[in-house]
């Protein structure tokens, strides 16, 4: 028998999975449909990686985002997918906050070129990070309750 709280938790996890999975797939799609060099310029503007690493990240990150998005939508390996989502969003958000705080006028690179970091992008990505952390918590709590 399931409790009302269990049903709410399950519905919340489903909503977050679909939302975050769709966003990650869309983000990957926008990057994969432009030359990787365009995304590399966005990555390089953060000034944290050597050029070789910038190229590696620009070529591989969109594929990883696509994989994570598909896993979230499908509900497969939910713990791993949720943790990966939280880690990625945590790194992205931290880098964006750093760039915003230091006054850098750079493209965030989130959904392709042309989106400068602003309080709106910070609010959006901070909300996505909060949602992914909630999903990660739900993925671990639900498994523990089932045992």
* Per-residue pLDDT tens over the stretch 56-83: 999 999 999 999 999 999 999 999 999 9
Quick one: DSSP state of residue 102? T
Q: Which residue has the tokens 């990505």?
A: 125
124 pLDDT above the threshold of 80: yes
Identify the burial level of 101 via C-beta atoms within 10 angstroms of its C-beta, where 0-12 means exposed, 13-18 middle and 19 or more buried.
Answer: exposed
Report yes or no: 38 and 113 within 8 Å, Cβ to Cβ.
Answer: yes
Report yes or no: 90 and 49 within 8 Å, Cβ to Cβ.
Answer: no
Alpha carbons 8 and 12: distance in angstroms, whole number: 6
* Per-residue pLDDT tens over the stretch 12-24: 899 999 999 999 9
The whole-model pTM stands at: 0.88
8 pLDDT above the threshold of 90: no
């Amino acid at each position: 028998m399931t409790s009302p709280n269990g049903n709410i938790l399950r519905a919340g996890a489903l909503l977050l999975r679909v939302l975050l999975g769709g966003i990650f797939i869309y983000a990957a799609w926008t990057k994969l449909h432009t030359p990787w060099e365009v995304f590399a310029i966005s990555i390089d503007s953060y000034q944290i990686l050597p050029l070789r690493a910038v190229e590696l990240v620009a070529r591989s990150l969109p594929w990883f985002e696509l994989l994570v998005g598909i896993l979230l939508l499908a509900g497969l390996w939910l713990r791993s997918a949720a943790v990966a989502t939280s880690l990625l969003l945590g790194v992205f958000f931290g880098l964006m906050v750093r760039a915003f705080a230091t006054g850098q006028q750079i493209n965030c690179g989130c959904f392709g070129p042309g989106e400068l970091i602003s309080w709106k992008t910070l609010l959006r990505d901070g909300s996505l990070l909060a949602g992914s952390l909630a999903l990660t918590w739900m993925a671990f709590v639900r498994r523990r309750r089932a045992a």
